[in-house]
Each structure stands twice: as structure tokens, then as C-alpha cells.
Structure 1
């Protein structure tokens, strides 16, 4: 597999496309802002000049108003006319002062031109030095001719001031229009320049890369793009060329790689087929020897081995015992195996015929090694293992030198695990059958409880008494014993029939009520005890078959005790299947002392059996009895212990 492509290096900051775009945008922004600021300043100057033109033009009007008010004062010299003259003079002073200092807030100010400033000073001087003193003098002497003589000159100079301001305003208006035109030209040129730069910097490289990709898609893997810049697109183009080199290399050896992958898949499929075939064979029912023979034959055929053997650990887990072998002599079968330092072991023939090996659980396998005995040059041995427990080993013998690959060793290890699991399953099945036999014997022991044992003991005792009576020729006593023997035999026969009926009991879903009714009917036939059966809710959710069977056995045992021991003439059976399942068997018999009965273990065997059956289904069983007050057996199966039927 080709090595991964190196990560592309980032271009220097000054060569990056982002740097150029940001720098160009900043320059364009600064130019535009400068032009806009210039036009705003011109507009502000024009507004101030316009205000100055208005106020300068009002100087002529106010000079004439002062003359008019002086004429009115001369015609009617009173305080009101004097105030009006004073007001007009003050208004003229304020206008001249405002023009001189300006007011940026309006805005109003004279242009910053020396000629205009000199003309303004002249107008102000004429007013302050000539006209204002003349107006004040005319107010006192009611003589305004002197003031009227200065008006033409003042108006002429004021007109000159207005003309100068208007001329300056016209030039600034021209500059404003020119600036706006230049701004439009800059915007158009800037847009065209930006489009050109974007095409040159971004669109053209992208189109070139797109064209390269389309040719690459057409399997032109020898295509290389020219690297014309050192920005991001230059790095991207270099990466494209590196990718083209890699694709060309991959394409050139693609067929070899496909063949290699195909061979790997074929090997894996072959391994899976071997494992599947072996698993299917090992899962077939057969004894251990037949299974091991089939396993060894398949493994030898698969790996072309000329010999092989399977050994398992004995119960002491110290020695290996030969199970099957193929292609090996007896001497080779009886080879002694010795541990090596690296965990391998080799076989050497011994005269004793005994195979002795160290603890096979310490073997570090698989390994292959050579053995020169009987023409075999190579021997490979592997564990037979189930989970973490080593059960034995199997070996393959080759007449030629054979070194197993990693895949073959792994396959043989897996096959050894499959064989180990199969062996363990066979052993577990044998243990399960043995356990089932033990359980059947336990059930038989529970069935052959004290009823039959006590009956036989009673019969044995009566036979001994009859034997003594016959020896002593006591015919009357023998006649009295005979009915007892007949009654005991009949009772034992009934117990045996009842026991056989219990063994044949097998319940499925919903069979409990039918089985209970059959048990009660059989009890009525075997005894003269009045029997009352009360059921409630048995049609509800049924119990699991195992729980039903144990409950039926407990009922049969309770009724058997009533028949044999209670001397009752009435028994009541109540079954309730609600949230909890309850069974109660009550009789009106003679009862018994529970403490005394518990001390007589030989007579409490039946009660112990009922308790054991209740414990199997996690139910609680309670026996209540007093001498002369009958006996009650109560069983309760809690809802949380109920199993799905």
C-alpha cells in the first residue's frame, strides 16, 4: 500500500490569496472613503457659504432699514422710534459679528479665502468706523444725512462681498460635481478591477482545477497542472499533482492489488468453509472416538499431513491419553513428550510405551518443529481447548519439511478450540444424563417413601408373629394375623398403583384442573372419605408445566397422607389462582403433634418431600395440625415466582 500523502504546507502570509484580497479591499475602501469624505467636506463648505451669502445679502437690507427708522425718528422723535433704530443697529452688529466668526452648527461661515476675508474686514470697518457712529449721532440730533451719505459705499462693498462668496461657491460646486464624477469612475474601474482580480486569482485557478479533475476522471493520470503562484491555489495545485502521482501509482499496480485481495478473500472463504464444515461435523451426534477420528481425517486431508494423533488429558489432568491416530506406528503412538524451554514439545519413542508430558496447560502453542522418527520431518501440535481450559492436544506429522504460515496456525488453533468445545459438550451431555439419572432415582426415592416402606415393615413384623404362632402351634393367633396381612398387602398394592400414577403424570399448559379432578376422582375410588373440591380462577393465566406438576405431586402426597393416617371422614381441597397461587388441603381427622412428629424422622419423610417440592418452585408450604383437630396443608406460590406457561 502506498504511503499517505504529506500534508500540504501553508504559503507565507504575504503570499496568501486571503492577504491579497484583504489588502485590495482595504485600499479600495480607503480610496472610496477619502472621496466620500472630500465630497462631504465640499458639501459642508457649500452649505456654510450659502448661509454666508444670505447673511451678507441681508447687510444691505438692514443698512436701509436703519436709514428708514432714522427718517421716522426725525419725523416723530419719541422713545419708541429710538428703540426701533437701536434694535436695527444691534441686528446689523450681530449679523456682522456672525459673519466674522461663523457658526459651524448652522452651518454658516465665510470661505477660507484671503480676498473674501479682506473684503469682509472692509465692510466691517465701514460699518463700525463710519455708518454706526453716524447712525448713533443721527439719533441724538435727528440729523441723518451723514448716515445716508455712507450707505452707497457700504452697499457697494457688501455686494462685492456677496459676489466673492458666490464665486467661491461656484468653484466649490464645480469641484463637488467633479469629485462625484471621479467617484463614479473609481467605482466602475474598481468593480472591473475586482472582477478581473477575482477571475485571475480565484475563478481561473478553479476552472483549471476543474478541467484537471475532468481529465483525471477520464483516466488521464499522467496529467500535471502548472504551479504558477505560491498562494493557496498554488498549494492546492501541488496537492493535485501529488494526488495525480498517487493515483497513477495506484492505477499501475491496481491489478496486482486486486489479485492480492482476491487471493486473501479466497483464503478467508476457504478458512470459513473449513470452519463451517468442521462445526457442522462436530455438532452431529456421535461418540467421542468417532468424532475425533472424523476431526483428524478432515484436518489431515486439509493440510496434506501423512500422520496425526489426538490426545486428551486424563481425569488427573497430568498425563495425555491417546484417543485416535492416523499414519503412526504403535511405537510412535507411545511416544514420550518432553517440554522445551520455548513451549514446544517433541516426540521420542520409548520402550515403556508410556506417554509422559508436563502440564499441557503450560504449553505455549502452536509451534511447528522437526522430528526425524519414522520418516516424518515435521510435526505441528496444537492445544485442544474449551474456554480457558486445556483438554488435550492434536498433532500433524509431515514427511517433508513444513513451516505453517500465521494464517494456518490461526486456523488450526481455531479448529482446536472447536474440538475442545465439542469434547466439553459431550462431557457436559454425559454429566447431564448422569444428573438426570440421579434426579430420577431421587424421584423414585421420594415415591418409595415411608408409605410402602412402613407397609412392608408392618407385613414383615406380622409374618414374624405368624411364624412364631405356627411354631408354637397357636392357630388362633395365626388366624387373627392373616386379615392384617391381607389388609397390608392391599394397602401396599394401592400405594404402588398410586406411585405409578404419579410417575406417569405429565402436564402441559392448562392441564392442572383436569389433573386435579382426576387425582380427586382416584382418591374417592380408593377411600370412603367425603371429598370437596373448590376452585377459583384456574382459567386465569396458567402456571408453567413444571410448577403445575410439582403442585399436583404435593396434592397427591397430601391426599395419600389423609387416606393412610388421618382417619378423617371429610377433606376439603381449595385451589385459588389469582395474583398468588394457593393450594389448601384440610381434613377433620385425628391430627398429630407436630413437635413429636418432627422428632420421628422415619414418619416425616412424606412431609419433607412436600417441602422439597415446594422449594423447587420457590413456593412456601405450611402444615398445621393438632391432635383431634385435623390437619391442614397450605401452599402459596407468590406472583413474582410465577413462570410463563
Structure 2
């Protein structure tokens, strides 16, 4: 059976109620013990006074006997006084005096004995004193005869009171010992109960918190009561359950996010590898073949094709294929866009995904029989698009059922756009190369027209004049024409050689100064003019090779015009490459009339070529000249023009 303390420990009430009840019980017991000891000590004090007064009865009775004996000498008043004192003492013993305190113990034997003492006084001794005997001596003798029995009864009363007092004193000691024992036991009980009510729940709570800190969210506290700590344990258990639930949910979400990140990382890796490959320099077949190989490896496809949409006939032309039967490739090398699933993906836009287990439409049946016969269980086709312009489609063929989630479909659509961008860039690069070739041919034609064509026209006229002079046998004219023809041929040869040198010129970054030095040296070899040239690099970055080449061509054209037309003796060339680029070419030749040149328009091809090259550089070309005052050509390129060119 559970002990009292265990029952109190399981007392299912609030802690405040328990503490108040425990305090009340302890206070009641302590007060009861204190009241008991106080009552016992009060009883002992009253009994002690009763012993004194009971003992004084013997003395006063003896004094009365002495007074009676001396009454014959005239001391009757003293006898009356002693009698009154004895009467008052008896009355005090009988009724008690709480103020002193004075009272007889409430024992029946003591009360009976007091009654005997009082009776002996009232009915024996006192009548002997007040007797109307004629002789006082006889009265005194009677009182003296009765006195011993009264004293004996008084002694008995005193003895009985003392025995009762001794018994109560023993009870007082026992009560004090019991009070001390109860204080010790109560203290132990209170400490034990407080330990059970406070320390044990707090320790359990600390243990639970320590387990929670160690991420043991399965920790639970026992709920053994309905007090505050019981409610706290229930709240802790609810908190631990919620933490456990949230932790599991968080772990689930983390795992899900980790899987998503891993999938996205794989997608980004595939996009990065594919983008890196598509940005390499390849022809169209290699580009499409490499794209198809990587896509098939990434999505575990057993076959695949890449088809381009013809801009003229609207048919799909097979560019690359892998894992496809040869007869199927030959049969579908060129197909109408409406005759296959790949065409549907290219013309309709959304991806087309079909599996063998799914029903095929009657319109699709003729075009999937080949895939089924080849052992493919599924086909997925996606369009190749660049800036909303469809360029073709690519398809993946699977030998087994291959469920394709939405993320893979989106990735394949993105890869299709990347391939479309690469193909479009390839087309634009080809068009740019063709345009560059056309421009270079145009400049070559202009250069030929400005130099060799005019020389050949001059030679043609001279040959006609030579033929006429020969037919008319004008030997003198023939001798005059032949040196002109020789000079024209030499000039044409020099022009051709100069054009070939110009067209073969290639520059790397930082080679402009060396190329300018070579051009100036060649000019000095071909003409009689002296050249003073200066190249200053004042902190500006080197021009890119293509812009350096255009600057060099302008310099070569200007020096060629000086050599052919200016008849100059001194030429100055200054090039400054700072935040802005400037080039200045001056000569002291015969000059020309700018208005006349402007009126000729494109007839003077050299100036026109220089202006075209300056326009390519976003630079400003200025030509200043006057008859007999030489020519000044300046090329200026601002900092903004350098960045935009």
C-alpha cells in the first residue's frame, strides 16, 4: 500500500492548493502542540500555586491554634484574622484565581480530597473555634485535638496535587519531545514532498530539454499529475511532437529541395555543356550531330534525328541521325512537314510525345509504322526555334517506355531554342562573311578602277594612236608613243604590285606602328618626296586589328594619291593614339580644287574609298586643299567613336 507521503505526492490538485493545504496542516499541528504545552505549563503553574496555598492551610490552622491558646491574653482579633485568611485560602482553592493563576487540578481524587479538607474545616475545626464554651481553655483543647486530622488531610491534598503536577510535568516533557520529533519529521516530509512536487518535475524537464537540444525530438515527459508541472509536461510533449513533426516535414522538404537542386544542377550542367559546344566553330552537320549525340546520352535515347525546315519547299530535310535504321533514314531523308511527327512538332509548336502503348490517330499510323518496326516504343519530337522563327525539329526515339516529366520536356524545349540560336548564328555568320567578301570585292573594284583601269584606258588610247601612226608610217609619232606606253606599263605594274601588297596586309594588335613604317618606306622608294612621320602613343589602348587595317588602308590611299598626282617634295605624317585617335597627312604638292572634286562625285574613287573606310570606323575624315597650296587630310576618332566602331 502506498504511504501517506506517496498519497500526498499524488494529490491531484494545483501546486498552490497543495502548498496551502500542507502549510495549513503543519501550522495546525504546530499550533496544537504549542497550545497543549501552554495549557500544560499553565496547569502546572496553577497547580504550583495550589500546592503553596494548600500547604499554607496547615500553617494557618497551626497559627489559629497558637492564637487560640493566646486568646486568653487578649489576642482574639488575631484569631479572627487568621480564620479569615484560612477561609480566603480555601475559597481560592475551591474557585481558583485565573489571574495568578491558581486552581486545583481537575482530577476527581483531588477534588474529593479537597472536599474532605474543606469539610474538616467547615464542620470540625471552625465550629471548635466559634463554640460558646464557657471556658476558652476547653475550646483550645478541642481545636488542638482536631487539628492533626485536618493537617493530615491537607498533607494528603498537597501530596496528591504534587503527584498530579509531576504527571503533568512528565506530559509536558513528552509533549516537547513529541513537538521536536514532529518538527524533524515534518521538515523531512515537507522536503520530500517539495522534492517530489518541484525538483523531480524540473529534473525531468531539464532532461527533456537536453534531449531536445541533442535533436532527440522523440523525447516525452511522463504526466503523473494534473498540477502546473503536469500541464507543463503536457505542453512540453505537445511542443516536442510539433518539433518532431516540423523536423520531419523539414527533412522531407530538404530532401525534396535537394533532389530538385540536383535535377536543376544536372539540367544546368547539360545546358552549360550544350551551350559551350554550340558556341564552338563547327559546320552545320557537325553541330547538329554533336547536339544529337549529347541529347541522346543525357536522356538515354536509343535513336534520334535533326531535321531542318527548308525555306523554299517547306519540307523537312534530314541533317543528322543516330541509332536509326539505314532504310528508315533513306526513306525519310526529305519529307513533307505534314507527313511526320517531327513536322507536327515544327509546324504546330508544342512538343509531340507518343508511346506505343497509347492509341495512335489514323492519320499518324502510316508514319509511325517505320518507328515501330525499328523497335522503338516511344517518340518525342521538339521544334528548333530562334526568336520565334521555326528552323526545324529534332526527335528522340526510345526502345522502352520512357516517361518524360514536365521538367525534361521544358529542358528539351530550351535545348531546341539553343540549337536554333546556334544555327541562326551560323547562318548570320555565313551571311556576314559573304557580305564582307562582297565589300572587299567592291573595294578591290574601286581600287582597280582608280588605278589600273585609268592606266589601261590611257594605254588603250596610246595603242590606238600607235596603230594609226604605224598605218600612216609616221615613225616620229611612233617613237614618241612607245616611251609613253613603256611608262604607262611600268606605272600599271607598280599599281598592281601596290594593290597586291595592300590586299595581303594583315595586322595583329599593336602592329600599326610597324605597318606605318613599312608603308612610308615603300612610298619613299616609289617617289622622290621625303617623308617626316611621327607615331605618338599617349596612353590610348591599341586599336583592334580590323580598325588598324582600315587606318592603314586610308594612309596607303592618301600616299598613293600624293605619289600619283601631288608632285610633292615633302610629306608629313603624324599619328596620335590617346583617348582619341588622330591621323594627319600633309604634302606641299600642287593641290587641287575641292569643289571640282566634289562635282565629280564618285569619279575620284580614291577619295570615295577613304570616306567609306572612315565611315566603317565611325571616324571623321576631312580633306583640305587649294591649287598650289598642297593637301591636308585628317582622320579623327573620338573616344565614343572608338568604343562604338
TM over 0.5: yes
Partner of 2:621: 621
Q: CA deviation at 1:299?
A: 3.8
Aligned length: 432
Between 519-528 and 199-208, the greater mean CA deviation after superposition: 199-208
Contact 2:380/2:396 (<8 A) preserved: yes
1:497–1:361 CA distance, 2 compared to 1 (3 A): same
Distance of aligned partners of 1:566 and 1:315 in 2 relative to their CA distance in 1, 3 Å threshold:
same
For 2:488 and 2:198, the matched residues in 1 are separated by: 115
Is the alpha carbon distance of 1:599 and 1:335 closer, same or farther for their aligned partners in structure 2, counting shifts above 3 Å?
closer
Q: Which residue, 286, 306, 310 being the options, matches 1:310?
A: 306
Cα–Cα, structure 1 residues 571 and 410, in superposed 2: closer, same or farther, change >3 Å?
closer
Residue among 220, 224, 235 paired with 1:223: 220
Q: For residue 363 of structure 1, what is the aligned residue in structure 2? A: 349
Corresponding residue number in structure 2 for 1:481? 481
Instruction: Quickly say closer, same or farther: Cα 1:406–1:440, change in 2 above 3 A.
Output: same
Point out where structure 1 has 5 or more consecutive residues left out of the alignment.
Answer: 1-19, 21-198, 340-344, 348-356
CA deviations over 1:38-92 (Å, ceiling 9, x no partner) = xxxxxxxxxxxxxxxxxxxxxxxxxxxxxxxxxxxxxxxxxxxxxxxxxxxxxxx
Name the SS of the counterpart of 1:634 in structure 2. Answer: strand
Report the aligned-residue RMSD. 4.4
| 1:535 maps to 2:531 | no
Q: Which residue in the other structure is 2:599 paired with?
A: 599
- Give, in angstroms, the shift of residue 264 of structure 1: 5.8
Q: What is the alpha-carbon distance in structure 2 between the residues aligned to residue 569 and residue 459 of structure 1?
A: 27
Equivalent residues of 1:462, 1:484 under 8 A apart:
yes
With normalisation by structure 2, the TM-score equals: 0.56
Check the 8 A contact 1:283/1:422 in 2, yes or no: yes
Q: Distance in 1 between matches of 2:596 and 2:227?
A: 108
Q: Tell me what 2:452 maps to.
A: 452
Is 1:551 the counterpart of 2:547? The answer is no
Matches within 5 A, 1:130-529: 209-218=205-214, 219=216, 221-224=218-221, 226=223, 240-248=236-244, 271=267, 274-275=270-271, 278-279=274-275, 281-283=277-279, 285-300=281-296, 303=299, 305-316=301-312, 318-325=314-321, 326-327=324-325, 328=328, 330-331=330-331, 336-338=336-338, 346=341, 360=346, 362-365=348-351, 367-368=353-354, 370=360, 372-374=368-370, 375=372, 376-398=376-398, 402-508=402-508, 511-529=511-529
Cα distance change of structure 1 residues 465 and 238 upon mapping to structure 2, 3 Å threshold: farther
SS of 2:404's equivalent in the other structure is coil
SS in structure 2 at match of 1:589:
coil
CA positional deviation for 1:331: 4.1
TM-score of the two chains, using structure 1 as the length reference: 0.56
Residue pair 1:534, 1:573 contacting (<8 A) in 2 also: yes
Q: Which residues of structure 2 form unaligned runs of 5+?
A: 1-15, 17-194
Tell me how far apart the structure 2 counterparts of residues 239 and 462 of structure 1 sit (CA, whole Å): 118
Q: State the Cα deviation string for residues 467-514 of structure 1 (Å, max 9, x = none).
A: 233333333322221111110111111112222333344445554444
Structure 2 residue aligned with 1:585? 585
Structure 1 pair 201–481 and aligned structure 2 pair: CA distance change class (3 A): farther
Cα distance in 2 for residues equivalent to 1:579 and 1:251: 63
- Alignment CA distance shift 1:222-1:285 (3 Å): same
Partner Cα separation in structure 2 for residue 297 and residue 508 of structure 1:
38
Inter-partner Cα distance in structure 2 for 1:480 and 1:235 = 131
Distance 1:240 1:406, change over 3 A: farther
CA shift for structure 1 position 242: 3.5
Query: Which of the two has higher C-alpha Rg?
Result: 2
